[in-house]
Chains A and B, each alone.
Chain A
Amino acid sequence: MSVEFDRKIHDTLADANLQLAIYTATGRLKEKRIEVTADNVLPDYQELRTQANALKKHAIDNLDHYLEEFERNVEGYGGKVVYCKDATEVSDFVLDLAKRRGSKLIVKSKSMTTEEVDLNERLEHHGLESVETDLGEYILQLAHEKPYHIVAPALHKTRYDVADIFTKELHVARETVPEKLTLIARGVLREKFLKADIGISGANFLIADSGAVAIIENEGNARLTTSAPKIHIAVAGIEKVIPRARDLAVFLKLLARSATGQLLSVYTSFLAGPRRPGEVDGPEEFYVVLLDNGRTKLLPDRSKRESLYCIRCGACLNACPVYRKIGGHSFPWVYSGPIGAIITPQFMGVSHEPALPFASSLCGACGEVCPVKIDIPKVLLELRSDVKKSEAREGQNRVEKLGFRIFAWVMTHPRVYELAGRMAASMAPAGDGKWIKSVPAPMSVGPLKAWLSERDLPPSPSRSFREMWRHR
C-alpha cells in the first residue's frame, strides 16, 4: 500500500464530520434507490438489468462496428467525430478549435471523462477560461479539488465550506443558506452561459443508429451548455456507444433510479448534430470527441472487459461499506468506490496503486446494485491475482510466498497443525473471557501488529475443537 493511500484513508477515518457527511449522503442515495427499484414500483427491474447487460455486452463485443456507425450518422447530420488517444489530443483539439474561432470562454457541464484528462487545467494553462457549471463541480473548481463522488461531486463540502469558497473566490457577501448559495452560483454562471463561445459536455450514451449523444442531468446546466454557445463539443469514452435510440428505454429507466432514486432525471437531452434548417436555436457546430485513454487496453480480456459496461450511476459507491468509510478522495484516481477500484488498475496499470483491488471486503453489494450487472467482485479478484503475478515477476513477494508455503504445509499436516494451535494458545494472552486488544511485545510486530491496531481477537478458548471432539 502506498503511503499516500494509507494516509488519506486514516485522515478520512479520523474526521468525524466527514464520516457523518459521507455516511448520510450515501445512505440517503442508497435508500432512495431501493424505494424506486422495489418490486411493487418496478416489477421488471431484474429483466431491465439483464437487458442492459446484454446490450452493453453486444455493443462492447462489436465496438468498432458501432463506433463507425455512430461516426457515419453524426457526420450525416453535419457533426464531426474526433478520435483522441489521450489527454493531450483532447486538449489540442479544443485549443486548436478555440484558436481558429477566436474563442476565449468555455462553459462545461459535468463530465467524468474530462476530469480524467484534466481538461480544465490544460485549457486554462493556455489562457482559456473554462468554467464548470454543475453546482457541485463549480464549487470544486473554485476549491481546486477533484469530485468526491461520481454523481454527488461535492458531498464532502458543508454549506459553511461553500460559503467560505464563494466569499473568497467570488467576493460576495457571506451566505450559508443552500438556496442563497445556489442563487449566487446561478447568477454568476448565467452570465457565462450567455457569453461563452464553446460549450463542452460529457455524454451518458452515444447512440449509433442516430448519431446522437444523450446527456442526463437535473440542473439544466447541460442543456444550457449544449444550447446557448455556437459550438458544442461532447467528450465521451469510446465505451459509451449503444446500438439504437430505443435502447434508451432500458437505460433511462435504470440510470436515474440507480443514481439518485428518481424515476427520470429532470432533463434528458438527445442531441443529433448542429441546429438544422428551420430550427430556431442550438449550436452551429457539433463535435463528438471519442476518447480512448486506456480503454482499448481493457478489451482483450474477455472477462474484465465488462468493466467498460459502466454507466457511471454511482450506486456501487453508495452500497460499498469501504467507500462509505474511506470516502472518495482516498482513491488514487478520479473514479472512486468499487467501480474506481476495478477501472483504475486497468486504465493506469496495477502498479499505480497495488493495494486498491484489496481495499474491498468482497461483500458483493456493488455487484448486486449494478444496473448493468458488472460482476465487480469477480473483477476485483482477477485484479488481485494480476497484482500478485506482477509482484512475483518482480520478486517482491518472496516473504509472503514463503509464509503461504509454510501455512499450506501446516494445514496439510494435522499433527503440526495441532501443535501450532497449542503453541499459539499458550502464547496468546488469557484475556479472561474478554476480547483481546493486543498481544505481548515480542509478537506485536509487522502485519500482526497492523492487523490488531484495527481489530480485536475473540478470547482464546481453553480447549481446541480437536480436544473437544476427542472428549465428546
Chain B
Amino acid sequence: MSRDNILHKVRTALGRSAGQAVADVPPVRLRVPEAAMEDRIALMMARVEALAGKAARVPTMDAAREFVAAAIAGKTAVASNAPYLEECGVAGLPGVRTGIREVGELTAVCAQVDIGITSADYALSDTGTLVMIAGPAESRLVSLLPPAHIAVVPRERILTGLDELFTILPNPAAQTSSMVLITGPSRTADIEQILVRGVHGPGQVTVVIVG
C-alpha cells in the first residue's frame, strides 16, 4: 500500500537517498559483573520473594521432584516438554500431563489445570527474572494460562542480568519466535492503584533452584 510513499517521505525529510550507508551504531556497553554463584542464587531468591513470588532451593534433582510433588499434591498440572523436567522426574509425577505437541490440546489442557510446570532457559538474578525461549521444549502457554506457575531451574542457568543475557544471546530471533522474560506474578494496579495479582497470567510464581 503506502510502503514506497512512506519510505520516500522519510528519505526526503532526512535528506537521505535509497540504500545510503549509515554511520556506526552508537556503542552499548554491556557489563557483566563478577558474581559468585552463591550470591547470584541469594539475589535471585530475594528478588523473586520481593515480587511476592516464592523461591525455593533444593540440593538435588530428586529433591526438586519431591518439592514439586508436594506443591501439586491434590491438584492438576501440566508440564512442558523440557528435557530437564524429564530428568528430574517431575514430568512423570502422578497427575501431571506432559509431552503435548499439538496446540489445540495444549490450549485446552493449560486452560483447565491448576498449575503449569516449566524449566527456564536462563534466570536473571538482579531482577528475579525467568527467561523462557519457545521451542520444542518450552511452549508459550504452560507458563501463562494456568493460575500458578512453577519453574524448576538448575543453578548454572542463573545469569547476573540483562547485560549477560544479551552478551550470551545477541540474536534471540535466530533461535526462537518467542523469548519471554517473566518477572514475578501477573499483576495490575489499574483500579485505584491497588495491586492485584493474577489478572491474566499466573498469580503465583514459584522458582525452584536446583543445586
Q: Which one of B100, B200, B201 contacts A280 once the chains associate, using CB atoms below 8 Å?
A: B100
A24→B189 CA distance, assembly (Å): 13
Residues of B within 8 A of A275 (CB): 134, 177
**Residue-by-residue, is A39-76 near B (CB-CB < 8 Å gives 1, otherwise 0)?**
00000100000010011001001111101100001000
Q: Give residues of chain A (192-224) contacting chain B, Cβ–Cβ below 8 Å.
A: 193-194, 207, 209-212, 218-221, 223-224
List residues of chain B with CB within 8 A of the CB of A211.
Answer: 173
Give chain B residues whose Cβ lies under 8 Å from the Cβ of A265: 183
- Chain B contacts with A in 6-54, Cβ cutoff 8 A: 6-7, 9-11, 13-14, 16, 18, 20, 22-23, 25-26, 28-31, 47
Q: Which residues of B contact A (CB under 8 A)?
A: 1-3, 5-7, 9-11, 13-14, 16, 18, 20, 22-23, 25-26, 28-31, 47, 81, 100-103, 106-107, 111, 126-129, 134-136, 139-141, 144-145, 162-163, 165-167, 170-173, 176-194, 196, 198-202
Which residue from A44, A152, A249, A282 sits with its C-beta under 8 Å from B178? Answer: A282
Asked if B173 contacts A264 (CB within 8 A), the reply is no
Q: What are 18 A-B interface contacts by the 8 Å CB criterion?
A: A62-B23, A77-B177, A82-B1, A135-B199, A219-B186, A224-B144, A224-B145, A246-B166, A249-B162, A268-B180, A269-B178, A270-B181, A273-B173, A276-B177, A282-B178, A292-B9, A299-B9, A299-B10
Q: Which of A65, A133, A263, A279 contacts B177 (CB 8 A)?
A: A279
- Name the B residues within 8 Å of A61 (CB-CB): 14
Question: Which partner residue on chain B sits nearest A60 by CB separation?
Answer: B14
Q: Is the CB of B171 within 8 A of A210?
A: yes
- A158 engages B192 (CB within 8 Å): yes
Q: Which listed residue, A65, A218, A223, A271, touches B188 by the CB 8 Å rule?
A: A218
| Interface 9-mer from A181-189, A322-330, A420-428 | A181-189
Q: Are A85 and B166 in contact (CB under 8 A)?
A: no
A245 touches B186 (CB 8 A): no
Interface residues of A in 306-334 (CB under 8 A from B): none
* Residues on the A chain within 8 Å of B7, using CB: 64, 67-68, 83
Q: Give chain A's interface residue range (CB within 8 Å of chain B).
A: 35 or more
Q: Is the CB of A209 within 8 A of B186?
A: no
Nearest B residue to A54 via CB reads: B26
Cβ A267 vs Cβ B201 within 8 A: yes
Residue of A nearest to B5 (CB): A85
Do A85 and B28 form a contact, CB below 8 Å, given A186-B199, A209-B171, A278-B136? no
Query: Interface centre among B103, B107, B167, by most A CB within 10 Å?
Result: B103
Taking CB atoms, residues of chain B closer than 8 Å to A253 are 162
Q: Is the CB of B2 within 8 A of A84?
A: yes
CB contact under 8 A between A272 and B173, given known A83-B1, A89-B1, A279-B135: yes
- A residues near B167, Cβ cutoff 8 Å: 246
B181 touches A264 (CB 8 A): yes
Question: How many CB-defined contacts (below 8 Å) exist between A and B?
Answer: 262
- Give A274's nearest chain B residue, CB to CB: B177
Tell me if A4 counts as interface (CB < 8 A to partner B): no
CB-contact partner of A152 in B5, B100, B134, B193, under 8 A: B193
> In the bound complex, what is the Cα–Cα distance between A468 and B189 (angstroms)?
59
Q: Find out whether the CB atom of B193 lies under 8 angstroms from the CB atom of A272.
A: no
State whether A212 touches B173 (Cβ < 8 A): yes
Residues in A whose Cβ lies below 8 Å from that of B13:
296, 299-300
Instruction: Flag if A84 contacts B1 (CB, 8 Å).
Output: yes
Question: Is A250 located at the chain interface by the 8 A CB criterion?
Answer: yes
Q: Is A248 an interface residue (CB 8 A)?
A: yes
Interface contact B176-A276, CB-CB below 8 Å? yes
Residues on A close to B: CB < 8 A?
21, 24-25, 28, 44, 51, 54-55, 58, 61-65, 67-68, 73, 77, 82-85, 89, 93, 133-136, 139, 152-155, 157-159, 162, 178-179, 181-182, 185-186, 189-190, 193-194, 207, 209-212, 218-221, 223-224, 227-228, 238, 243-250, 252-253, 260, 262-276, 278-282, 286, 290, 292, 296, 299-300
**Closest A residue, CB atoms, query B111:** A194
User: Which residues on the B side are within 8 Å of A159 (C-beta)?
Assistant: 191-192, 194
A247 engages B134 (CB within 8 Å): no
B128's closest neighbor in chain A, by CB?
A263
Q: Which residues from B are CB-within-8-Å of A24?
A: 193
Cβ contact within 8 Å between A134 and B190: yes
Contacts A210-B172, A252-B162, A267-B201 aside, 16 further interface pairs with beta carbons under 8 A come to A63-B10, A64-B10, A85-B6, A89-B2, A178-B192, A185-B199, A210-B173, A220-B144, A223-B201, A246-B30, A249-B30, A265-B183, A266-B185, A268-B181, A279-B135, A280-B106
A271 to B11, CA, bound (A): 28
Q: Is the CB of A282 within 8 A of B166?
A: no
Docked pose: A221 CA to B22 CA in angstroms: 37
Q: Which of B22, B163, B189, B192 contacts A65 (CB 8 A)?
A: B22
Is B103 a contact partner of A245 (Cβ separation < 8 A)? no
Known A85-B5, A249-B28, A276-B177; contact A186-B162, beta-carbon cutoff 8 A? no
Find out whether the CB atom of A139 lies under 8 angstroms from the CB atom of B190: yes
- Chain B residue nearest to A220 in the complex (CB): B201
List the A side residues contacting B198 at CB < 8 Å.
186
Find out whether the CB atom of B177 lies under 8 angstroms from the CB atom of A58. Answer: no
A residues within 8 A CB of B129? Answer: 264
Q: List, in ascending order, chain B residues with CB within 8 A of A219's CB.
A: 186-188, 199-201
The answer to whether A270 touches B191, judged by C-beta atoms less than 8 angstroms apart, is: no
Chain B residues with CB below 8 A from A63, complex form = 10, 14
Q: Are A273 and B177 CB-contacts (below 8 A) given A185-B199, A290-B6?
A: yes
Residue of chain B at shortest CB distance from A78: B177
B3 near A83 with CB under 8 A, answer yes
Ranked nearest first, the 5 interchain pairs of A and B with the lowest CB-CB distance are A220-B201, A299-B13, A136-B190, A272-B173, A220-B200
Least CB separation from B12: chain A residue? A300
Residues of B within 8 A of A207 (CB): 173
A271–B186 Cα distance when bound, in Å, is 19
Contact yes or no, A133 B6, CB < 8 A: no
Verify A247–B186 contact, CB threshold 8 A.
no
Minimal Cβ-Cβ distance residue in B for A275 = B177
